[in-house]
Amino acid sequence: MEKKYVIGMDYGSDSARGVLVDANSGSIIATAVCNYPRWTQGLYCVPAENQYRQHPQDYIDAFESVIKEMLSSASDVDVNNIVGISFDTTGSTPALTDENGVPLALLPEYAENPNAMFILWKDHTAIVESDEINELARSWHTDYTRFCGGIYSPEWVWAKTMHVLREDPSLCDAAHSWIEMCDWLPALLAGKVKPTEVVRSRCASGHKALWHESWGGLPPVDFFEKLEPMLVKLYGNLYKDTYTSDYCVGKLSEEWATRLGLTTNVSVGVGAFDCHMGAVGAGIEPNTLVKVIGTSTCDIVISPYDEIGENLIPGICGQVDGSVVPGMVGLEAGQSAFGDIYAWFRRMLSWPLQQLLNQPEYASLDGKLIEDLQDKMIAALTEEAKLLPQNDVVATDWFNGRRTPDANHGVRGSISGMTLATSAPEIFKSLVEATAFGSKAIADRLIENGVKIDSVVALGGISRKSDFVMQTLANVFNMNIKVSAADQACALGAAMFAAVAAGIHPDVEAAQKAMGQGFDAVYQPDASQVEFYQRLYARYKELCEKTENF
């Protein structure tokens, strides 16, 4: 039998990454990355206002670059045997589109207008609008937020599209619909971008757009009319049905086949969010908590419908049938800062080094030497922290607000229990413990609401870089933590979905079995630390309670 290949595309916050994979064995044949060119220059963003926008052309440019680089480095692969492509992306990352489904920023008149671009997941400009959605949802006969944790986030599509329409009413004429990045890329490749033709992702719709089968799709139009009349026109060009990512949107269009050097025999799969496909790539199974750990975390669990039933789990980021693996309820949660907290501490400790660099009397100093030290700082803190005895310094992990359990952008980070003898490595240790405690608080919320969790799988940068963090996590959870061997679990997950959409494997489980890469580390709880961490976790919970409304 001739080998078949699939492409998994992973669109992160800063870059797009592709993997070209042997669809039967899972072997990675080629991989390539491309930073978004405009984004890299800092265009269209106002960090002080938490405005983060990405130009749709960035996604196209990165895509073409990645595909061409992979194909050229895999010159012995016959392009006729490349049969599938699927996308995972950040989200909710939506853009307004015109009547043809074209993101407005691709039209010349809006090419430089940030409100016409994709609004990146971490953009926080729509806080007012999310408050309004929450208020209206509370007073409506049906609370449409109940399957996405009961609190609508400013990071999600309805708040964001409301916000840009209000900011920029001049867009109202041109705007006919909106689209999530994870739906736009497959639609573009399959030539189905018109609002009526777009195949919408169950994952994005269910977790971010208030879509649910029980109320027949999106909430009814009168809800949105009451919220913001400008939404009504868009609503008319949206959707009722959604699709899981094993579904094929269509074949690669002639235009794109030519442009990329592929064939029209490529099946394009339905997109989903990065962590959802990442969880599949990392080997998610029922009742496994998969944590994608980087600057922040995304936590995914899948649970059979007959186990979770009608249980509503409050304060998470949604529970959506089929959002991860078809046939299972996908539960999403996450911490709004994880590695970012360590980076914050490094930044603070770097203040004197920056002073060194900035003062004229130190001009003779080799700047590289200082930068080098900054680069090594977290590793150095880690080495010291490992040697420290148990102590009572405790912190919360709310330096970027709290995503789950119970979204609250207003909560703040605290560190307590310090003395004049408290050292920088001790504070670092307390911050590592705080991030582990935040993880446990999420798991506890799920368990308290009937979700079984019997193992934890970690992926993402920190899971591979810091054995100290992972060991702390194992001690705090008192559970084995397995680290996925997949270097690029999200892209690999997308490739698995592509293989299913292309019919190589009958379902996601079969694709995982054939293409999975297993685990390359298992952290076991250190029995001598478990009891201590139970006590310290109780202190963490107490500090959380004390500072929650502070």
Footprint on this chain of a second copy (rule: CB under 8 A):
337, 340-341, 343-344, 347-353, 355-356, 362, 365, 369, 373-374, 377, 380, 392, 399-400, 412-420, 422-425, 427, 539, 542-543, 546-547, 550
CB 402, min distance to a second copy, A: 12
Residue nearer to a second copy on the CB measure, 495 or 544: 544
Nearest to a second copy of 240, 368 (CB atom): 368
For a second copy, the closer of residues 237 and 400 by Cβ is: 400
Considering the complex, state which of residue 232 and residue 348 has its C-beta at the smaller distance from a second copy: 348
CA triple 323-329-330, angle to 5 deg: 50
* Min separation Cβ 297 and a second copy, Å: 15
Rounded least distance, CB 205 to a second copy, Å: 30
Nearer to a second copy, 305 or 362 (CB): 362
User: Of 113, 118, 109, 98, nearest to 13 (Cα)?
Assistant: 118
**Scanning the structure block, which residue is given the tokens 């060194």?**
356
Handedness of CA 169, 174, 176, 180 (dihedral sign): negative
| Min separation Cβ 298 and a second copy, Å | 18
Cβ-based nearer residue to a second copy, 418 or 514: 418
Q: Which positions ≥6 away from 529 have C-beta within 8 Å?
A: 390, 475
Q: What are the tokens at 455?
A: 């193992």
CB 528 to a second copy: min, Å: 23
CB of 379 to a second copy, least distance (A): 11
Q: What is the DSSP string of 102-135?
A: -BGGGSGGGTT-GGGSEE-TT--TTHHHHHHHHH
**What is the rounded distance in angstroms from the CA atom of residue 435 to the CA atom of residue 515?**
32
CB closer to a second copy out of 329 and 536: 536
Q: Name the DSSP letter for residue 46.
A: B
Distance CA 315, CA 147 (A): 10
Q: Which is nearer to a second copy, 154 or 269 (CB)?
A: 154
In three-state secondary structure terms, 224 is: helix
Smallest separation (angstroms) from a second copy to the CB of 412: 5
State yes or no: cis peptide before 103, omega within 30 of 0: no
Q: Which residues, at least 6 apart from 284, have a Cβ–Cβ distance to it below 8 Å?
A: 290, 300, 302, 324, 325, 457, 512
Minimum CB–partner distance for residue 369 and a second copy (Å): 7
Least CB distance to a second copy at residue 389 (A):
13
Query: Residue 33: which of 495, 482, 491 has the closest Cα?
Result: 491
Report the C-alpha gap between 347 and 334 in whole angstroms. 23
Query: Among residues 292, 260, 286, 289, which one has the least CA distance to residue 273?
Result: 292
Judge contact between 290 and 300, C-beta under 8 A: yes
Which lies closer to a second copy via its Cβ, residue 253 or residue 374? 374
